Structure 1
Amino acid sequence: MTDQAVDTDGVRVTGDAAVPDRFLGRTRELKELRADIERAGLDTLSGRKAPRARVLLIAGRPGSGRTTLAAELVRQVADRYPDGVLRTRLSEPDGTPVPVERAARELLDALQVPAPAGAAEDELTEALRAALTGRRAVLVLDDAADAEQVDALLPDSPDSLVVAVSEGPLTGISDVRPCTLGGLDTKSAVELLSRAAGSVRVTVDPRAAEGLAEQCQGQPAALVVAGGWLAVRPQAAVADLAKQLHTETDEGTPVGRAVQLVHAALPAPAARTLRLLSLAPAGLADPHIASALAGCSVSSARTTLDDFASLGLLHRVSSPLPQYEVPGCLHPLLRGLAEVHERPAELQLARARMLERTVRLLQSCRAITETDSPRAREKLLGMPRSLRFPHPRAAADWLRLTRPALLASARVAVGDGELDTLARRLMSQLVRAMVAHFGTQAAASDLYGLHALVLDVAERRGLNREKAAALLNLGDLDARTGRTAGALGRYRAALDAARAARDPYATCRAMESVGGAHLELGDYDRACDWFGRALTERLARDERAESARLYGRIGAAHTYAGRYGEAQRNWRAAVAWYRKNGDLAAQARSLSELARVQEYAGRPEDSLRTCREAVEGARRAQDTRLQAALHLRLADTLERLGDPASAAVHRGVAERMLGDEAPQDGSAPEQTAGTYESAEVASKFDAKEG
């Protein structure tokens, strides 16, 4: 039982809660589609095994009930596909095709298959096909714009089923027979009208109901809107509405004429809100978005959205939050009404209000996580109550549930080109909120897209500092996913932008990143050169902590290259700088790396002495895990020197320390004996020696 009875291509109708959900009409189409699943394909007839999934195509104009038919078909055959149903839309509400890589990533997320941030289309589609191999699943591709989109997402598994929904044929995909939809039969159309408007008036005047269904040409969306108009006007007769639709201009579609009639009958504030919902990102609206667009209170916006849902102009999204979707068939109609009734400046102002409200919500979403910051708490309390979240969990849930609309807001704001300042603020707050709630690694894919948008705006506006920051962030994400050569190109471009902006921080950061990319690529001489350039800049500004770290990176690069003398000199310099800074833990880690290099250089006695000094430093720094790791290294060195008894003593000390520090959940203790480079040095050296 539900009060959302029928989904007509994105339009839901409110029905009697006492009447169970039941699909209306389309008996012949369903029978043909189910028979088409069993039909032998051309490959089978020729004696070859089908190389790909069977594709069914449901073709029809927006508002014809094509998505509803696809959902009913999937419901009927779902038990034959135990690996579940995957759905994605291939067009934006305004008709813009969705990039294949975005659709593939959404499907991989639904399969809980991780995909590297910034991966190309071919890599993502290949990963999707690999994930679907051997599965019996149904893939619903709604609102496909062309055959290329569908073809790129087709599984190689012949046991899966693809149900594509499109306005026309998908020329280019073999062995596909489209099921083309027209209007509903008269009986089903009248019943749909009865569900939306109530059964009494339809029963009293069945001829008028049939005439109204004919005026709507049996189109489900038009019938739902017409029924909603009748539902909120209990005194109006069905014949009255049929007469009004008949006297309307013959131009446009039946749903267009019905929407025009409903729009004309709405109070002026509600009519304006309805028109402005065409600006809702990804066609998703909530009370805050509607409130910002219309310039009204959040509570009145919620009431208006509920009224629109009862009219069939919106449908409620199944979500813990009050969310509504603008049906795809209505979106161009509302946009046309907005262009006719609103001046361009008013539309731009409404967009700006919506973006500003989103920015403030994101600020609140992030501030609720900063529980230890008095300044953040003060800023949060200064916000209106409607913008505040009661606790971090509520903020995280809001961010997760509104993520599609938030990302769409960023894309639309950047594409608009006239609200770049707001777009930059929006992307900045969205990045911070995602990092605060989800972490950099979990949000890497979304962050990659946001940094790319920041780069677009920075290049368009000539903002070299922001361009450098975006390129550095994109380079870091490329490097983490193994695209080191691409990361190197990003870092070099970031260095040029940082120099143009005269930004010393970004310049040093870019130099060090270029060095790190060369180090990863095995070009140790260039790595040392770039680390040295960055070190010169740091020393000139007396940045001691950064200078000490760069000495360590240079020492690691020399170690990779087997230049142990140079490596020892740089690690000693790092130790000296950390000692000046009073950073005992970093000093102990650097001594640990120096001991490692001395061991590689064939000086075990010096390594033993340095390692003992590192143990003492770790003890004074109260870093128990580092002490334990150093005791293990001492044990290994003593064994090589032929002193197994002393080695056993140090190993026992390390085991006791690690036992005392073991987490309560039983997870392994974190290794802190050295830096990231040191772990790589050890593994590469061991591999070379092996």
Structure 2
Amino acid sequence: MGDDLTDAGLRANDVTSTQQLAQILRQLRRRDARRRGEPELTYRQLAARTGWSIGLLAGYFGGDILPPTDRFDVLVELLGAAPGERGVLATARDRVHETRRRPRPPAPVRPVPRQLPAVSFRLAGRTAHLAELHRLARGDDEDDGGATGRIAVVSGTAGVGKTTLAVHWAHLVAARFPDGQLFVNLRGFDPERPPADPAEAVCDILDALGVAVDARPGSTTAQANLCRSILADRRVLLVLDNARDAEQVRPLLPGAPGCFTLVTSRTQLTGLIAVEGAHRVILDLMPLDEARDLLAHRLGAQRVAAEPGVADEIIDGCARLPLALTVVAARASARPAFPLAAVAEELHRARGSLDPFTGSDAAADARAAFTCSYEHLTAAAATTFRRLGGHCGPDLTAPAAASLTGLSLAGVRPALAELAHAHLIIEHVPGRYTMHDLLRTFAVEQAQRLDTDHDRGAAVERMLDHYLHTAYAAAVLMYPARDRIAVTERRADTTPERLPDREAAHRWLGREHRVLINAVTQAATAGFDTHAWQLAWALSDFLDWSGYWHDFAAVQRAALDAAERSADLVGQVHAGRYAARACIRLGRDDEARTRLDHAIELCQAIDEPAVEAGCRINLSLTLERDADHRGALAHSLRALELFRVADHESGYALSLGIVGWYHALLGDYDHALDCCRRALDLQRHLGGEMPSTLDSRGFAYHKVGRHAEAVASYERAIELYRDAGNRYYEADTLVHLGDCHCAAGAAGLAVQAWRRALDILDDLHHPAAADLRLRVDGADRLA
């Protein structure tokens, strides 16, 4: 061969492979182009001259296909090889062909890694999560037909059992991955060691795959690519445990369709989900039945079955967190003669502390586990986490978190997102965040360790300001005619929520009522007595109308205690008045009258005629239940006069309708209708009709036989009660409507109205439902 080919670095006599033969062909094509002074012949031009396909020519020149002898001769002649060169090249081509026919030496035995940690206990529960991982490993929902490696990310808070689940599942499916199972602890949240560097993890994988150190490329990227190349034709399960973030995981991911990667992390690893198409499996706290199963397996089914209620107390004390349950179970198993009640009592005494869930082994220490997550937070997120520990619970919104922290809404949202990403809080419904009790305890510990008493107290005050001022605005929107109170001034760094209308107010109170009840208790406990009774005032109508009467009574009791403790007479009047109303709803009329008599004395002492009038209206309700209609009328007339003296127009309009009601109960229907007419005229002048007056007018119309007018009045009252969320009085007026239909001979309509009332009373668990059910059943039998 000539110097042109020799100078390219490869001689025909050295050719032993298809790739080297293709290199000779490319050298011939370049030399031919230089000799002709033109560009190299393209595959398309060569195809036109030979009649062969472009794909075949690409295979010849790429080294993927060995050209047959006749085609090779044509090709080298077409590329300008001299006769002597053609002979040498033909010999080279035949040598390659012979080399390919020789039997290859046996491939070296590939090591099969079996690195999964041992499983010491049977996994309790997690059936749904195991099923989801099985589905993902089968590739049931792969849109690309399994063309890429599959990835699942198991995420959840510290101690929730992510590694336990991953290892247990990996053992279950190990047979599906005959080429091995790799396990790498990335130490993303390790209490004793720093997170693993990806380069270190890649080396661990290469070690497991049997790649000698001197056979590895120098850079981490090249080593990662070597891992992928080795795994390309293998079926391997890769478990990457305790990942810090997506960047730590990404270099370790195989791309082979036969491999499956299972990652566990305390963070959500959204980068892997978004970019690599990983599937998220979120591990929550254990359901009660699965937590019982865990205890039964660790302590023995007989021991747990002997004290089932106590076992549930232990589960509650452990917040259904698997790590806490296993620590407590280990201690209980070390004392087999002790009853479980002793363990439960220990947890009860230690409530508010993580001491029962700590140990010498960091892997079994709840405080150490939480600390690892906490220490990775930014300063803003860490401060927010500590503040959330002081929230009254059970959950909160971003605006409430903004007030609690003193940040703006825009400032607190990134901190909440970071905490949710780290599974230190959970967005359990859109826009509402919570944390389990042990994390709340940890947050309180950190706040006591790092924050001053002033900082913690200011946070609680901001939180109470937030709920008080928002709840007060909601209460006024719900019932604009209601008498007002002078709400304590809020801090400037508080962000109450804005409620545009009555519907928004009712929705907000419905979502927040458990939080608000807790806020009253926390305010009273923390010494914010004014906040306590004023929050209770703001809640009173909502709790009453919604039928939460036991909550209503408890809240007002706490409010009254707070007002008495601070010698706040105004607070005592309002809390006593509403505590009495709660007693009326619960059928405790004697207690209600005692409270109302005391409240009336205080009203007279501090000159609050409008509030006294409200107390007398409530007194009339207790007398009505005793059928003392004349006594009830007397208190209503006194209330009417007090509202007039106080120049309280809406109160006067309300009490005028109530006076009409008692006239109707006494059979004076003309007087009753006149009072209701005048009351409604005044109410319309003030901006709207009151449903209680419409109900009273409907009753009077019904009694004088004007049934059509009674029905119209009742239906309008029902509409207004429903709009206001006053469920009890909606049911009460539905009963009156049914009675009116029955008197008019419309039995079917009567039963419909009574059934609607019965549904509400059943939902409210009201004792009146029993008598109404008898009436409905009797009407059905007669139909």
State the TM-score bracket (shorter-chain normalisation): 0.3 to 0.5
Given the two structures, how large is their TM-score scaled by the length of structure 2? 0.42
Structure with the greater alpha carbon radius of gyration: 2
Given the two structures, how large is their TM-score scaled by the length of structure 1? 0.47
Higher relative contact order (CA 8 A, sep 6+): 1
